[in-house]
Structure 1
Amino acid sequence: MNNELDIIDNLQELETFLIAIESGGFGLKGVAGVALATNNSDGRPFVAVLDDNHQLILARSVTQEVFETGKDLVRNGPSKTH
């Protein structure tokens, strides 16, 4: 994962991260989607930014609480405008 100390631990941070992705704040090219997932090796949850080929291009760790409560936010997108 990118930076283990940079864990998203509340829904506000998750929403801010999603808005930054949508608005191009990270300078990523070819973003096709965002998903919540778990790491196969250690089971830790993270938010994944995927390209058109469903390849991971950016990831941020999330707490278990954010993983469980942030699914609708990831699925439907943030309600705030950018």
Structure 2
Amino acid sequence: MLIERDANGDFILESSELAERFGLSLAALRRHMRHGSVVSTVEVGTAEHEGTKRVSLRLGNRLWCAVLNDANEVQHEHMTVLRGKAS
């Protein structure tokens, strides 16, 4: 997956690839995004993880995470289905 940064430093992810990761059509993912159902976070690595970033997107009980190197290349990614009540 290609992940870029815009002029403000925000991460730009390809919508069609995200939809595929979540098992959704592009239209369904965009609908969830318009309704504010997709929540994203970025964590910056420290100490032994210096230079890495973890980008996470949550939709319901599904959490997709990607760890990026200092060139914003995906080093690894995974999808987790969270147990219990989705927030």
Alignment TM class, shorter chain as reference: 0.3 to 0.5
TM-score between the two structures when normalised by the length of structure 1: 0.37
TM-score between the two structures when normalised by the length of structure 2: 0.35
| Larger relative contact order (CA 8 Å, sep ≥ 6) | 1
Structure 1 or 2: larger strand share? 2
Structure 1 or 2: larger helix share? 1
